[in-house]
A and B are shown apart, each in its own frame.
Chain A
Amino acid sequence: MPTPTTTAAPVTRPARSMAGRLARVLLGAGLVAALAGGLTFGAAVLNGPSGPPPASDAVPAAAFEQLSSASLAAGIGQLQQHLRAQPRDATGWATLGLSYVEQARLTADPAYYPKAAAALAEALRVRPADNDSAHAGLAALAAARHDFGTALREADRALAINPFGARALAVRIDALVELGRYPAATAAAGHADGIAPGIPVFTRLAYVNELHGRTAEARRVLDLALGSADDPGDLAYVHAQLGELAWSQGQVRRAGGEFAAALRADPGYLAAVEGRARVRAASGDAAGALRDLQTVVTRLPLPGYLTEYGELLTSAGRPAEAARQYAVARVWVKLAKASGVATDLETALFAADHGDKAEALRAARAEWARRHSVHVEDALAWALHVNGGDAEALHYARLANGLGYRNAMFRYHQGMIEKALGRTADARRDLTAALRLNPDFSVLHAPLARAALTSLGGAP
């Protein structure tokens, strides 16, 4: 848990991923070639040269827990070497599988998922019974692919073997949250806090509180996590979450301070760069915001980021460039699907505003068939709205806002649906609430919210 001392800590930047290269290729050239290139990425599980392990295999068995994001790629290489020499190391295979899941997260390259699946299958082949780490890895993989039902089942299998396993406890909370089983998620987070306190559990506990509208408690728990965080990755993550919490309450300056703190801990931490972009846009620095978002989407071409960048480009009068971002988002969705990632929620959110509206509704209904989280309820409500189904949309919008989550976008969606239904008083109330929560909640939608509210006669 080193802390920077007399000089700046080494800057840790995620390696330029295949997906990152993909994005740049897409931005410049044709989509087809890039798509093909991306899909060929998931090659052998153990890549690299074969042969006897090198001398470096002789050195300390530093725990995987101690790998940093910066050393993850190197750690994977050494794990591969180690497993060539010791292929009976079931835990090693499970760790390799989990490393691939983490690598996918860091690089936004879903081609790591099939490799993760292969490594985890090997772990279970070597040790079919009592292999909680393999099941925890499968749970993490399923969650990363948005298959939360499988994630929950695998987490439970891991916990049946090892009830104290911190990773399985954490993924279990994630799965319950994403399945919309909030009372169970609250109980699971409390249980995990009692037996495995630590940053993975604290950050999840904070999120469960935030989703229920207990913002102050969420902040307290994140502060606790911050107090025990020392490594740059943890510091960056927790500061960024504190930034998001402040941002969601419209506290732009405070959010900016947290994102800056995250970037001091890890200058390459893209979630904080993206947060800083929103703060810059809200503070009138559109050029700085565009620069930041370009950095983000070049490295992490995820639909949410691309949409945000596209909307900012549009607001800056650059619609052609915006269209290119949306094209990349569509390709990413295809790539992710090809790697076994369920992308209906992303498709619904993206397509409702920037794509095929019918497709948005189909995707939202498909996701609703799988799970009932507030995010799915909100996406379904909005997809129904843009397709003219406002009466049904209102039902889902109320569900989405019913948990207590203070989310300006959710509230805005409900207000616009109410406006379409002619429920003027409700619409004024909810649009006002959205803008009060965070007047800058979206470059595209905040101005629309203000215009709608004005047309209805302003705040009640």
Chain B
Amino acid sequence: MSRFAAARTGAAVLLAASATLIAGGFASLAPGQAVASSHREAPLISGQPQYDNTDVYAFVSPDKPDTTTLVANWLPFEDPAGGPNFYKFATDARYDINIDNDGDSQIDLTYRWTFKDHYKSKNTFLYNTGAVRSLDDANLNFSQTYDLTLIRRVHGTAVSAQRLASNVPVAPSNVGKASMPDYATLRAQAVRPLASGGHVFAGQADDSFFLDLRVFDLLYGGNLSEVGHDTLHGYNVQTVALQVPSKQLAPHQPIIGVFSATQRQNAAGGFTQVSRLGMPLVNEVVIPVKDKDKFNASIPWHDAQFGQYVTNPELPKLIQGVYKIPAPATPRKDLVQVFLTGVPGLNQPPNVRPAEMIRLNTSIPPSKAPNRLGVLAGDKAGYPNGRRLTDDVIDISLQVVEGKLLGAKIPALGDAVNANDKAFGGAFPYVALPWSGSDVRASGSGITPAAASMARDSQATPLTGGAAAAPRAMQPKPAPASPVLPMAAIGVGALLLGGSGGLWLMRRRHPSA
């Protein structure tokens, strides 16, 4: 399940951003001995976030437009300062990025990462025994490697498996400056070329997602009195990333469907899909709590079973209850296009079978000035056409759910967190370097002064108008002013939008948005 699914399950236990958070690790509740010695009480709650998909990104590589970059993250809330900790991929799991390249909702290509542990010495619990200056440094006592396999499928069934890379080193956890004085070098060494074309990476990275998790208070009728704090500030994730020529992904037509899944080995020796993630927020906002586990176990072919949650969504009703913004009429064909089929003329493949995936038109060139609001702001190289690291999917989704594509005149809904806490890279794998244990520890609370000031500046931004009030300092690449664009400019025809016709575009009070 995704981090937010977990958060919902967990009822948004709002743990302190300070180091007290998860100080003991992502531990299960250690079971005490049974209240009765004869009644063995095993753990009911087990901390196993290494199997949890958190986010998937798919975009045409900005610096290599003939290639496509796929990024998937696992293991949310890695706290670099949460004690002397390191994080790893599970060795009994398959970490998959799946591609449907003909729109039939069946997987055609699976890129699979599988990991192995390595210890230089089993006689020590130390992660490193001195400063680590390269990935093969003898001081790096524990390390992981992975194999990358490409599985080709016909009608969903595997017909071939090709090893694209073997025993590739994983970028380690950034445990601190003393241990890893030049982490950027370690990251660079973990980016490897593929003989088949392109590059691959796996390792720790800053969590690319940015949002204020309090937006999920909406789900139980809460009022967004305080947003604007990037609750993922200072946290790392485990990232896998792949950059391949777009032609390899989409040999016949340019639009691909992308989702990630985790399979875990069970005691019977088989593999069970335990997590699935494509479009952001579907798992947490669209799918009701009771069906989240089912969704995580399901495959896109069967997504019609969840269709009602897209055509008749709960969130707009909840928002209407709190903010009196009228919920758009149902059934919501606009949301079907955004979440299930892609938008005609933009990212809908021919003969599409509705299924929940990120749909990316690899033939749309990357934007020179990406707008965080993507297609809503006329930047059709962004979400929901694929998903770039900088796309503000919370704000976009809120506005789309409230009927933006139907022409509804709604406030500039948002969570007032408009950009990531760390700048992204200009080249593969693009994700920001992971937070270092010593960096964050130095700030004492897990929050850097800049972020604290950001949070403060944003405190006054409620749900409505959040984007406008977001501090300018957090806009890494101010986009040019985005006036109301004609629909044609973004290649989205009125036909596809239905309803009152026409894409009602953002009017921004501040050009920086």
Count class of interface residues, chain A:
35 or more
Interface of chain B residues 185 through 231 with chain A (CB within 8 A): 213-214, 216-217, 220-222, 226, 229, 231
Known: A56-B14, A62-B15, A66-B47. A71 touches B23 (CB 8 A): yes
Interface residues of A in 31-65 (CB under 8 A from B): 56-65
Across-interface contacts of A300 in B (CB, < 8 A): 32-33
Task: Check B85 for interface membership: any CB of A closer than 8 A.
Answer: yes
Secondary structure of the A contact surface, majority rule: helix
How many Å from the CB of B37 to the closest CB on chain A?
3
Q: Are A65 and B220 in contact (CB under 8 A)?
A: no
Q: Is B232 an interface residue (CB 8 A)?
A: yes
Whether the Cβ atoms of B28 and A234 lie closer than 8 Å is yes
B27 contacts which of A70, A167, A170, A178 (Cβ < 8 Å)?
Answer: A70
Among B3-37, those with CB < 8 Å from A are 3-4, 6-17, 20-37
Q: Which residues of B contact A66 (CB under 8 A)?
A: 6, 10, 22, 26-27, 47, 49, 77
Given known A6-B127, A234-B46, contact A102–B267 (CB-CB < 8 A)? no
CB distance from B249 to the nearest CB of A (A): 30
Residue ID in chain B nearest A139 by CB atoms: B44
Q: Which of B16, B126, B270 contacts A194 (CB 8 A)?
A: B270
Q: How many angstroms between the C-alpha atoms of A198 and B216 in the bound complex?
A: 27
Q: Which of A61, A71, A78 makes the CB contact (< 8 A) with B24?
A: A71
Among candidates A1, A71, A86, A104, residue contacting B50 with C-beta atoms closer than 8 Å:
A1
Contact of A93 with B by CB under 8 A: yes
Specify which chain A residues have a CB less than 8 angstroms from the CB of B32 in the assembled complex: 14, 105-108, 270-271, 300
Instruction: Answer whether residue A287 sits at the interface, using C-beta atoms and an 8 A cutoff.
Output: no
Is B226's CB under 8 angstroms from A200's CB?
Answer: no
Contacts of B9 in A (CB 8 A): 63-65, 91, 95, 133
Interface residues in A377-425 (C-beta closer than 8 Å to B): 379
A59 to B230, CA, bound (A): 9
Q: Does B266 contact A (CB under 8 A)?
A: yes
Closest chain-B Cβ to A117's Cβ sits at a distance in Å of: 16
Within 8 A of B (CB), among A64-122: 64-72, 74-75, 78-79, 81-83, 85-86, 88-96, 98, 102, 104-108, 110
> A22 → chain B, closest Cβ, in Å?
15
Given that A234-B28, A270-B33 are contacting pairs, would A349 and B38 also be in contact in the complex, using a CB cutoff of 8 Å? yes
Question: How far is the CB of B479 from the nearest CB of chain A, in Å?
Answer: 28
A230 to B24, CA, bound (A): 12
Tell me whether A166 is interfacial, beta carbon within 8 Å.
yes
Q: In the complex the two chains form, is A61's CB within 8 Å of B14's CB?
A: yes
Of B35, B92, B222, which contacts A104 at CB under 8 A? B35
Pairwise interchain contact B46-A89, C-beta atoms closer than 8 A: no
Shortest Cβ distance from residue A116 to the other chain B in the assembled complex, whole angstroms: 13
Query: Does residue A9 face the partner (Cβ distance < 8 Å to B)?
Result: yes
- Residues on B with C-beta less than 8 A from A232 are 24-25, 27, 30
Cβ-based interface call for B91 (8 A): yes
A247 within 8 A of B: no
Is A5 positioned at the interface, with any CB of B under 8 Å from its CB?
yes
B83 within 8 A of A: yes
Say yes or no for B293: interface residue by CB 8 A criterion: yes
Q: Answer whether residue A345 sits at the interface, using C-beta atoms and an 8 A cutoff.
A: yes
**Contact of A174 with B by CB under 8 A:** yes
Closest beta carbon of chain B to A218's beta carbon, Å: 11
Q: Given A2-B85, A174-B41, A230-B50: A68 and B274 within 8 A (CB)?
A: no
Q: Across the interface, which residues of B come within 8 angstroms of A197, CB to CB?
A: 264-267, 272, 274
- What sequence of 0s and 1s flags, for each residue 82-98 of chain B, a beta carbon within 8 Å of any chain A beta carbon? 11111110111000000
Query: In whole angstroms, what is the CA distance A198 to B266 when docked?
Result: 7
Contacts of A65 in B (CB 8 A): 6, 9-10, 26, 45-49
Compute how far the CA of A407 lies from the CA of B167 in the bound complex, rounded to whole angstroms. 46
Instruction: Knowing A106-B32, A199-B46, A233-B28, say if A95 contacts B13 (CB, 8 Å).
Output: yes
Q: A61-B216, A110-B35 are in contact. Are A91 and B42 (CB under 8 A)?
A: no
Asked whether B214 lies within 8 Å of A233 as measured between CB atoms, the reply is: no
Interface residues of A in 156-175 (CB under 8 A from B): 161-167, 170-171, 174
Q: B25 near A231 (CB under 8 angstroms)?
A: yes
Contact flag A60-B77 (CB < 8 Å), given A69-B27, A92-B12, A270-B33:
yes
Q: Are B220 and A64 in contact (CB under 8 A)?
A: no
Tell me if A7 counts as interface (CB < 8 A to partner B).
Answer: yes
Residue A195 lies at the interface, judged by CB distance under 8 Å to chain B: yes
Q: Would A61 and B13 count as touching, CB distance under 8 A?
A: yes
A108 CB to nearest chain B CB (Å): 7
How far in angstroms is the closest Cβ of chain A from B322? 11
B42 contacts A203, CB within 8 Å?
yes
Residues of B within 8 A of A138 (CB): none
- Counting chain B CB atoms within 10 Å of each CB, the highest count among A68, A108, A341, A345 belongs to A68
Chain B interface bracket (under 10, 10 to 19, 20 to 34, 35 or more): 35 or more
Q: Is the CB of B35 within 8 A of A62?
A: no
**Which among A5, A89, A140, A274 is the interface contact of B44 at CB below 8 angstroms?**
A140
Shortest distance from the beta carbon of A30 to any chain B beta carbon, whole Å? 25
| Residue A10 interfacial (CB < 8 Å) | yes
List residues of chain A with CB within 8 A of the CB of B10: 61-67, 91, 95
A336 at interface, CB cutoff 8 A: yes
Cβ-defined contact, B29 with A102, below 8 A? yes
- Would B47 and A68 count as touching, CB distance under 8 A? yes
Q: Whole-angstrom distance between the alpha carbons of A146 and B36 in the complex?
A: 9
Residues of B within 8 A of A56 (CB): 14, 16-17
With contact pairs A56-B16, A62-B77, A345-B36 given, residues A67 and B11 touching in the complex (Cβ less than 8 Å)? no
Contact residues in A for B226 (Cβ distance below 8 Å): 58
Asked if B38 contacts A375 (CB within 8 A), the reply is yes
Q: Which residues of B contact A171 (CB under 8 A)?
A: 44
- In this complex, what residue of A is CB-closest to B216? A61
Q: How far is the CA of A164 from the CA of B293 in the complex (A)?
A: 6
Q: Which residues of B contact A435 (CB under 8 A)?
A: none
How far in angstroms is the closest Cβ of chain A from B421? 13
CB proximity of A262 to chain B, nearest CB, Å: 10
Residues of A near B35 (CB, < 8 A) are: 104-105, 108, 110, 144, 146, 302, 336, 341
* B 74-85 binary contact with A (CB < 8 Å = 1; else 0): 011101001111
Q: Does B483 contact A (CB under 8 A)?
A: no
Q: Which residues of B contact A304 (CB under 8 A)?
A: 33-34, 36-38
Residues of A within 8 A of B267 (CB): 193, 197, 201-202, 205, 221, 224
Bound: A70/B30 CA distance, A: 9
A258 on the B face (CB < 8 A): no
- Beta-carbon contact of B7 and A62 below 8 Å: yes
Contact indicator A1/B25 (Cβ below 8 Å): yes
The answer to whether A5 touches B128 (Cβ under 8 A) is yes
Tell me the complex Cα distance, A267–B176, Å.
25
Return the chain B residue nearest A52 by Cβ.
Answer: B225
Of the candidates A60, A89, A237, the one whose C-beta lies within 8 Å of that of B31 is A237
- Whether the Cβ atoms of A204 and B33 lie closer than 8 Å is no
With A93-B11, A224-B267 in contact, do A162 and B293 touch (Cβ < 8 Å)? yes
Q: In the complex, which residues of chain B have a beta carbon less than 8 angstroms from the beta carbon of A106?
A: 29-32
| Interface 9-residue window, one of B284-292, B300-308, B359-367, B505-513 | B284-292
Across the interface, A271 reaches (CB within 8 A) one of B22, B33, B79, B268, namely: B33
**Which A-B residue pairs are the 9 nearest by beta carbons?**
A304-B37, A2-B85, A92-B11, A68-B27, A64-B10, A70-B24, A233-B30, A63-B6, A164-B293
Q: A68-B22, A91-B220 are in contact. List 20 more A-B contacts (CB 8 A).
A: A60-B15, A61-B14, A62-B7, A63-B6, A63-B9, A65-B47, A66-B6, A105-B32, A105-B35, A163-B293, A164-B296, A190-B268, A193-B267, A194-B270, A224-B92, A230-B50, A233-B29, A234-B46, A271-B33, A349-B38
18 contacts between A and B (CB under 8 A): A57-B14, A60-B77, A65-B6, A65-B10, A68-B27, A68-B30, A86-B12, A86-B222, A91-B289, A92-B11, A95-B13, A98-B44, A140-B44, A143-B41, A163-B294, A165-B293, A198-B46, A302-B35
- Report which B residues bind A (CB closer than 8 A): 3-4, 6-17, 20-51, 75-77, 79, 82-88, 90-92, 125-128, 142, 175, 179, 213-214, 216-217, 220-222, 226, 229, 231-232, 235, 264-268, 270, 272, 274, 288-294, 296-297, 455
